A and B are shown apart, each in its own frame.
Chain A
């Protein structure tokens, strides 16, 4: 069945991989982000792959006034509405330490911006009695670490938001999948030291679609991150606070 997907942060390589798979299945995709030139190229790619509709739309997590026009466009579409949220920003923790104002932007991009958008979308989904929200969080949100705890805390907030939204949308026939990717082979991780077991974005996208189909609640991708994070979460705080992992 053809459905409509809004993809926030559509220029990321994970989002690109997901949008392609959706396009090849004939769905309508709205590709939202800031780089309109790149989004238009992505829309053309999706059209050529078989999307029933592919459109670039302007979305800026820090500019909530950009949200309403997108929601109006979505409301015009018939059938189920779905959303996949890939937005987020991860400045160097050292840069944040030097300029604490960066905290606000990181949290807006990774948590409050997309949360506000989803908050506006939720009634529409409830009206139509279903649909799926895919929220991409991060393993970094499972525990605050020296290296990226501002980004991690924003993602932790987003995880909690998604959990609540799942509670709400389930009642209306909808569903929410929280996705926690480990290291993924994207522009964000290219050339960064200390990366291991890096997954290709196509693998993450395939895992996401499987989770949507099976109505999973929280997935780690690749799956073994669940075990890695179980170990990391189980380290007692008196020890953890002295570690730099």
Chain B
């Protein structure tokens, strides 16, 4: 396997690694390889997908379907398979990944390593809940791990940041997909209370709130709640995907621009709400239509802060939204979502409550703000999402993840010499109890 010296980063582009990357195209190339961290499409924002001054294996070319049973909706796919490809290929045959993150470019291996959640977490649980088997190289041997034959390793691998071994392929139980489109109901939420009430009351399988993180005063926390279900209506034609060719200048996402954009985005939806039919890709992966949209933040990149707070911590959430709005640093990308209690892995992010995600350009003020938000999350008994993090403190993170010690033990057995560590794992010292 040839190694390429490269500078690479996660989706946020604020943290950069220099190291050697290989990109095998055949599973057999992985034989006799010393333990090496694997990376996917690098859609995690911070440094979870980086290994500075070391090696990493880019799995994106190991992206084949190994088997698919149209009767049961079970599919085994290689780790590099993008989740959006599965939706594109199987939706016409009545099946769709049961949980899909906000980008279709994320790979199945990455979705497992982060135990990602989707717009349906409150009733479908996290990605790992629909994984029935993982084929991985564990402690030097290729093996198939299931919840039955090795529950400890299985749970440590879901959300396990790649620290328990190299994921080769996984078997997924897909969910029935009755049609090729989504019926989406969009409603205005005038303030935070209304926003949370709409999320809480929603009976739809898929629910997500867009948050206007610039709104203050009486409109603090306002936004649009989208509720969706599968539909048999014909899907509208998808527009051509566009791309951002160069790094945008700094004013692109400056305060007045974002404020004006958000006001228009909010006003688009009539006061009485509206219902639209959208394609599956357009509903689940709206941002994927703009390739390399991360360049909009300029060459310094950006951070995303994502936390989950228990339902009882509405006051904390309100305080956070207020601080963010007053800072004038937020971008249009801000999301509120309800999460259910289900978490498939020992290091999985979800907990029952409300999750808040906000993008910030990489500036000193924003990094200070994100650190502050992290501390408030910790104090409120919440949790910060490792797929997005690039700034948190290790002690704080370890305290947020109740099964951390158990996970450390399983990871230690799998990789005693810590050869699978990534920049994120080292920065947060996650492999130490």
Contacts and interface: CB of A to CB of B under 8 A. Distances in A.
A49 B4 contact: no
Interface in A175-189: 186-187
A41 B3 contact: no
A10 to B, nearest CB: 12
Nearest to B3: A191
B66 A190 contact: no
Interface in B45-79: 61, 64-68, 75
Given A49-B89, A190-B4, A38 B26 contact: yes
B260 interface: no
Contacts of A44: 64-67
Contact of B64 (A24, A42, A191): A42
Contacts of B61: 13, 187
B372 interface: no
Contacts of A146: none
A35 B26 contact: yes
Interface string A77-113: 0000000000000000000000000000000000000
Interface string A12-34: 01001000000010000000000
A45 B63 CA distance: 9
Contact of A45 (B2, B4, B26, B64): B64
Contacts of B3: 191
B25 A187 contact: yes
Interface residues of A, number: 17
B65 A48 contact: yes
A37 B28 contact: yes
A159 B27 CA distance: 33
A48 B68 contact: yes
Nearest to B65: A48
B23 interface: yes
Given A48-B67, A49-B65, A190-B2, A13 B28 contact: no
A191 B2 contact: yes
A35 B23 contact: no
B61 to A, nearest CB: 7
A44 B61 CA distance: 16
A42 B26 CA distance: 10
A35 B28 contact: yes
A191 B4 contact: yes
Interface in A32-67: 35, 37-38, 41-42, 44-45, 48-49
Nearest to B75: A48
| B24, B64, B75: residue with the most chain A Cβ atoms closer than 10 Å | B64
Nearest to A41: B64
Nearest to B64: A45
A38 B23 CA distance: 16
A221 interface: no
Q: Which of A13, A38, A42 has the most CB of B within 10 A?
A: A38
Contacts of A24: 89
Interface in B319-338: none
Contacts of A132: none
B274 to A, nearest CB: 34
Contacts of A16: 25
A37 B28 CA distance: 9
A35 B28 CA distance: 10
A11 interface: yes
A13 B22 CA distance: 15
A41 B66 contact: yes
A17 to B, nearest CB: 11
A41 B28 CA distance: 11
A48 B2 CA distance: 30
Nearest to B92: A50
Contacts of A38: 26-28
A48 B73 CA distance: 12
Nearest to B29: A187
Interface in A151-198: 186-187, 190-191
A232 B44 CA distance: 43
Interface string B1-34: 0111100000000000000001111111000000
Give the top 3 A-B pairs by smallest Cβ distance, nearest first. Answer: A191-B4, A48-B65, A45-B64
22 contacts: A11-B25, A11-B26, A16-B25, A35-B26, A35-B28, A37-B28, A38-B28, A41-B64, A42-B64, A44-B65, A45-B66, A48-B65, A48-B67, A48-B75, A49-B65, A187-B2, A187-B23, A187-B24, A187-B61, A190-B4, A190-B22, A191-B5
Interface of B: 2-5, 22-28, 61, 64-68, 75, 89
Given A13-B61, A35-B26, 17 more contacts: A11-B25, A24-B89, A38-B26, A38-B27, A41-B27, A41-B66, A44-B65, A44-B66, A45-B64, A45-B65, A45-B66, A49-B89, A187-B2, A187-B23, A187-B25, A187-B61, A190-B23
